[in-house]
Structure 1
Amino acid sequence: MPCVDIWLSLTREQCLEYYQGQVQQVYARAMDGRRVAFPAKALHKVVGNDGVEGYYRLSFSGEGRFESLMRIRNSER
């Protein structure tokens, strides 16, 4: 399963836009410089009271479809 590591830093207000369906895709910059997109609904499992901040691993199918989002490190940059 292909993976890419990303840094996410989203405020509580930004996350609310995703929850309310105003935004369908999250765009992020991978640690290797690539630009990636994944479904906003993936944030539901990782958002906290203050939003989302930290390093995450995106996993994709062989066809490039989103499969999972998992925290790999907290916000110490």
Structure 2
Amino acid sequence: MHSIDVILHLSVTECLAYYEGRYDNVRARSVDGRWVVFPAHAVQRVVGHEGVHGVFRITFTDQGRFHHIVPLNRY
């Protein structure tokens, strides 16, 4: 498995839009400056009362498919 650390700042309203299926993917900047696109359903695993804010590690398969997301530092 491979991983990349991304910075996420999503409001509650943005998270709700992902949850309702209005968006299929999230586009975020990695800590090293690359853009990363991953499935919107992944946000459901890390959303809190204030939305999603912090640095998260995304793991993906050798084929480049999303596998898992975990918080590293929330703020």
Question: Is TM (by shorter chain) over 0.5?
Answer: yes
CA shift digits 1:3-26 (9 cap, x unpaired) = 000110000000010011001100
Q: How does 1:60-71 map to 2 (within 5 A)?
A: 60-71=60-71
TM-score scaled by structure 2? 0.96
Q: How far apart, CA to CA, are the structure 2 residues paired with 1:53 and 1:5?
A: 13
The structure 1 segments of at least 4 consecutive aligned residues displaced by more than 4 Å after TM superposition are none
Q: Which amino acid aligns with 1:56?
A: F
Partner residue, 1:59: 59
Deviation at 1:65, TM superposition (A): 0.4
Q: What is the percent sequence identity of the aligned residues?
A: 41
The CA RMSD measured in Å over matched residues stands at 0.6
* Structure 1 unaligned spans of 5+: none
CA shift digits 1:10-54 (9 cap, x unpaired) = 000000100110011000011111110000000111001110001
Q: How far apart, CA to CA, are the structure 2 residues paired with 1:25 and 1:54?
A: 18
Q: How many residue pairs are counted as aligned between the two chains?
A: 75
